[in-house]
Structure 1
């Protein structure tokens, strides 16, 4: 999501204006041949899965008794800055439906108080710990519910991390669809266990910040990708999120194959609602909607924040009163509006929000107790807007566990780490201490000063406190001297026994804020450390013989200028620790715990190791085209295919101890066939009267006190009457090519939430014993990769992550058996002709590789021989 944080910034957000007719933006370039977004209509009805049927029954009872204006009112936001939350829907109080509060973000509640600033997704991914993924989701859900938030705008699994420089990669869990899928799905399960509606985002292929949005000069960037790449990479984590029962999906700003996501019928109607069986509601990203009728027909269910994207804050909307008009004049079928409203209310019922759900008790627009109720209005009534409810509970414990277990040891020459308790330390780099201006001095963390705990933008949160590395050293009573500069000081006075700790970082974020010349994406320093961090390491390493580099970073960072220097003995990647950057790092530095994090992305030797298609797309006249010519080959898949040795591979992570993998076994569970069993037919869906309602259902109520700029769903009487007359005229709305009103039975690959349920049948169980063979307690991660059989007709990456498990803390000599699984989908490819998941060699020998990184395997199990070989 992107919410502009000041009115002045918002007025600069000019973009092309599209009416509610079938207008198109000028200067759209043709999409390259072979990349198409075919029409898919109508939008599938929700409610046909058994696990949502009761919620749909309740929702349909309400919708059957709602007026036109009540239905349109709940499908849109009431306007930017027009309520306590970043998004506030209209209400239907007559039937008991309050305004819904929608609030950022993926790592914690944005712009509030007494909340936890959790480590973001990239650090969670680095833990490779499913239990922590779930625990963090539960804690997030508790905090969002505690603040009275109905809809949590997270987790983020798009961008997937295709581009290392992309500004928002850190909000997701890593550059692999399965790692993203587990992170996203477990977060959803945790959040929704507390009755909060989760929102998986951004659908889909939102792989850079620049030019993602329609603006004054050009349409939004078009991400062009083929059907197989869509299914096997970018759609994969969304499928798992839908399978977990997510209540909401947020559509991205960009276009896919030439069609803007907010009106892409193939994406929303076909892939999401029909193939993946999504039962909740689809919302736009903030100001991403660029049409009225076309977006409704294409499957959008909720417009956020409700304003038009041209110039918000003037009371103009593509929906609200315009949607009421479009239903009255017959442009938007009543059937479509009913399904939109039903999907929203079904999600509300599905999460139990009809029972004792708290109202919002905070205000994202101010930290004051009192303020305007509608800050975007020219004149607004005032009142209590902040009640300062503390929702932190014991969540700092979860945050600390994630920050600690995500720390990834990349290098440790001669067992330099852990440090002795009486080590003499010299500490360099401003990243070691808090921002001297204040930990929340920069709106949405839009600066890089001091310890980097998160990136910037709508995915950030205010710190309740920040435990910095210097705080951690102080609490330890460590013998240290701190040089709070990013230049090498002349007075550090190196002594032979000194250990130098150097703190460097690399930042990124959302592109409505530019930091140090970086407009979201990392354009200025590339993948190098910020603030001349590489030079600082070189200069310190020239004077000190024992150097440890600690990195806080949003993603891959180049290290070649210093990683092999003899005095650089150890490197720790602490990723983004949120509020817990101090004691968690001390626990690893001083050996209270052994590091157990693993890289959620590959670190290259240079950017030249990436293909040209990974370069950021720059400005051009017309619609920028971002064509994913690399197909399936991103991150480690690319490095393996090209036989390129990176600096550190995906999944790499050292420990203070050692582990062995032994006694592996593989057993068949579900017999396989080339195609999955036929899907079940859709269940019944709510049925409504589809007659256009009388115009009077959209009339303004008598003596209603309007708030200027607030968005309403009513029409003046003459407007409503004229719209109703137009429904009987000979002039009809020009529906898009391929438009139909006949509901489809659904594709063969569908059948339940997430797709055909047979795809998730376990094909093989694999058990492996992990033994601590070293001298210190620690945790190990078993990563399972699948290698497809040779001789098949499909091109497949050499190995692909399919599962992982983390041990408990194992004492020296202790062992634990881990159980992993491989599903039918894990062994399948997407066949673009059959439009289904196909196992290319049912009797072939799939290699099941298990190890501690994508380039370090300890054993191989074969599906054909049903045996495992160590070595």
Structure 2
């Protein structure tokens, strides 16, 4: 092995490049011996510009005290202590899915990082909340925040320091994308509100939230770098990046998120974990991010390069091959600092960001230790399951952290249910009717609700997709159980094949349950490698056939859909017997009672679609299809630009089956007495950014090698990752610093920049969030049932602006309380400077394109149901205007 490494590293200043060489040597060897990879050229015009150095953290006023305390601690750390806290201890090397190093001498503990965005993954006595897509379908800011608080309470109760959520990337650009359901919907504002309110809720409990995946991880296949193929490159223009995909990240950073997780893929040819433009230039400069950047698990593909580009924490810490004690950082990062390839200044900032984030969330005061294991459900087990030899001990204390959160989960599942069709008021139903229920999706998985690891199967009621974004069910309230508890005349056919020889009575009502699943790429379910490749956007398990046969036999058919995203409905949606359709999305543990409350009219449905449902897949632009390349680096080029989901349909005049934001109710609402008020006068550009505040300063000389020596008589765990070096290695690294020059990347600099004019605070220039206009509207229940209404506000740019803009774009929304018949409520919405701006790629700033022009702010209950407009030029609101779509 050493001979191979020596030959591969020759001419590379191995004392410097060791950080990468001991990994890349093997990866390059494997690539050339197994499958020679020719990296494809990135299309012309797509560039990952270099941005160095990493901006120091601590210049935002709201973080200054945390950075002051962090600087005191970090200034007393040894080299090995600093490198230790920036890296995980290895795959399966602790109770949690991620376990950082620690500095026990100074009282800095190991941090526990744990999935998932909808609950505590692989744990017990915790809540399986509805998925993000379900939360988005509520269009209810109060419920979004309440779920965030509940998640924070549960993660804190289990002693978890870092919650690996929320997910705002993928945005849902690709309808077949495997992890779209983890986010809140196919719109940057819906995603942004969902992400920011979740962050505020989680962090209100002292838990560090992690916004992910940064960025453009819009499909699962080919996302990861491996020994035979690079991860795909998402190639995007700067304006589209800012106006769509960065939008929710900016809101999350503005909300004070403590951590950002990088994606697996590349962007414009540069891997996200070492893309200096994305991490240094946009995240830490333009967006003013003050926390720490972590890699997704095994997304780090280099050592020095990722450190210089702005990565602060490597997770789970392993290098190319996990579970062998190899790492890009840990001891190799100690070596890299000693030999001068990673500046001491960069390491100090990495460590300070991590320590400051812990202080910012108050975790230095009475924060509990982990009391669970993500690796076993037993009370005792291996302390380090990934080690060659591991001691055992108590790993689970079975602490119940549910705290009555089932009610929050049930309210979300209920208020997300989206009624797409209801002919002749077929719904709500009467409990004394005769019900025939079809489809395995109506009942719990017959093998056990948690029988499939990470929910990696489509058996029974679909409450969540599959992968690391899941949680174990404490129980599952299935639809069939809930229906049979309410109705006395129920017959259930637990099959996805319509039974033959049925006797059908005229009064029978058929309830047909179908679903569509997806998930993360490390699990393949029924031929789907994460993304929905097998059935496309069709229902799984021949769901279309089940509905059609039920519709041929019964006069009244109600279709209930549990789905990760849009599905095609054309084969049966217009059949006369299909009287009603409900999308229940992914309800988590509360699938049953939430549904029956809608079916039997306890509550009127108030969910709205967080995506568009097309008539057929060919209506989408071809660029949002899944890429399927077998060799080389796949190229995923965003040629559709700003035009995804409803933006695309509107631009091309395509009337979808159901528009973004669509959702029916048992009652009807009127919108009246709308007013618009100007608040902050607009200028074409934001005001000048405030200057950066002071940041911590440290000595930047290379420390003595003794700070990285192995302690005497230390009992090590095999394959556990440590930050120490043998004395001879540490001494050799220091000696190399004076005789070799590391080959730094193009554009590298150690001089701190003043900062982007688009920056100035967390999320960007603070004047971007100045409210330009307030809008109020009175919503009145003019129907015959109590119910909740959603007011959606879309902006239409003035005609003739010098920028191509979508026809309409969502900018705000509000939901009423439950309104009794004839009851009214005034809803207040707003638009900010940023809402009325475009990103100018030449000026690298947000520009209001037409100060004198009149923007139209449209109000309605869906993107295709807009008939009340407010003109900013005249400060008037009128009903009856012709909708632009």
- The two structures have a TM-score, normalised by structure 1, of 0.97
Offset of residue 19 of structure 1: 2.9
1:279 alignment partner, one of 267, 283, 290: 290
1:823 is aligned to 2:843:
no
Contact 1:163 / 1:615 at 8 angstroms: preserved in 2?
yes
| C-alpha separation in 2, matches of 1:97 and 1:423 | 63
Structure 2: gaps (5+ residues): 1-18, 29-36, 881-885
2:424 alignment partner, one of 414, 421, 436: 414
| C-alpha separation in 2, matches of 1:518 and 1:191 | 32
State the partner residue of 1:102. 113
State the partner residue of 1:5. none
**Could you report, residue by residue, the CA deviation over 1:456-499 in whole angstroms, capped at 9, with x for unpaired residues?**
00000000000000110122144210000001112432110111
Contact 1:21 / 1:293 at 8 angstroms: preserved in 2?
no
**Could you report, residue by residue, the CA deviation over 1:629-649 in whole angstroms, capped at 9, with x for unpaired residues?**
000000000000000010000
Contact 1:527 / 1:556 at 8 angstroms: preserved in 2?
yes
Matches within 5 A, 1:830-869: 830-869=839-878
State the partner residue of 2:511. 501
Contact 2:20 / 2:304 at 8 angstroms: preserved in 1?
no
State the partner residue of 1:236. 247
**Could you report, residue by residue, the CA deviation over 1:23-68 in whole angstroms, capped at 9, with x for unpaired residues?**
9975221110111110000000000000000000000000000000
Contact 1:436 / 1:450 at 8 angstroms: preserved in 2?
yes
Offset of residue 417 of structure 1: 0.2
What SS does structure 1 have at the residue aligned with 2:792?
Answer: strand
2:156 alignment partner, one of 145, 151, 155: 145
1:792 is aligned to 2:801:
yes
What SS does structure 2 have at the residue aligned with 1:858?
Answer: strand
State the partner residue of 1:761. 770
2:746 alignment partner, one of 723, 727, 737: 737
1:164 is aligned to 2:164:
no
Matches within 5 A, 1:561-580: 561-580=571-590
Offset of residue 311 of structure 1: 1.3
State the partner residue of 1:510. 520
Matches within 5 A, 1:133-212: 133-212=144-223
2:38 alignment partner, one of 27, 30, 46: 27
Contact 1:19 / 1:292 at 8 angstroms: preserved in 2?
no
| C-alpha separation in 2, matches of 1:34 and 1:776 | 56
1:83 alignment partner, one of 59, 71, 94: 94
Matches within 5 A, 1:69-80: 69-80=80-91
Counting matched residue pairs gives: 853
Offset of residue 20 of structure 1: 7.3
**Could you report, residue by residue, the CA deviation over 1:110-130 in whole angstroms, capped at 9, with x for unpaired residues?**
000000000010000000000
What SS does structure 1 have at the residue aligned with 2:861?
Answer: strand
| C-alpha separation in 2, matches of 1:361 and 1:493 | 55
Matches within 5 A, 1:345-364: 345-364=355-374
Contact 2:168 / 2:212 at 8 angstroms: preserved in 1?
yes
1:805 alignment partner, one of 814, 817, 825: 814
Structure 1: gaps (5+ residues): 1-16
| C-alpha separation in 2, matches of 1:492 and 1:630 | 49
| C-alpha separation in 1, matches of 2:662 and 2:489 | 31
**Could you report, residue by residue, the CA deviation over 1:685-734 in whole angstroms, capped at 9, with x for unpaired residues?**
000000100000000000000000000000000000000101111x2110
State the partner residue of 2:635. 625
1:256 is aligned to 2:256:
no
Contact 2:209 / 2:258 at 8 angstroms: preserved in 1?
yes
**Could you report, residue by residue, the CA deviation over 1:422-443 in whole angstroms, capped at 9, with x for unpaired residues?**
1110000000000000000000
| C-alpha separation in 2, matches of 1:826 and 1:433 | 44
State the partner residue of 1:534. 544
| C-alpha separation in 1, matches of 2:685 and 2:395 | 56
| C-alpha separation in 1, matches of 2:784 and 2:47 | 57
Root mean square deviation of aligned Cα: 1.0
1:781 is aligned to 2:794:
no
Offset of residue 21 of structure 1: 9.4
State the partner residue of 1:6. none
State the partner residue of 2:7. none
**Could you report, residue by residue, the CA deviation over 1:314-364 in whole angstroms, capped at 9, with x for unpaired residues?**
000000000000000000000000000000000000000000000000000
1:667 alignment partner, one of 677, 691, 696: 677
| C-alpha separation in 1, matches of 2:297 and 2:78 | 27
Contact 2:431 / 2:487 at 8 angstroms: preserved in 1?
no
| C-alpha separation in 1, matches of 2:177 and 2:393 | 41
Contact 1:676 / 1:838 at 8 angstroms: preserved in 2?
yes
Matches within 5 A, 1:167-566: 167-308=178-319, 310-566=320-576
State the partner residue of 2:593. 583
Offset of residue 843 of structure 1: 1.4
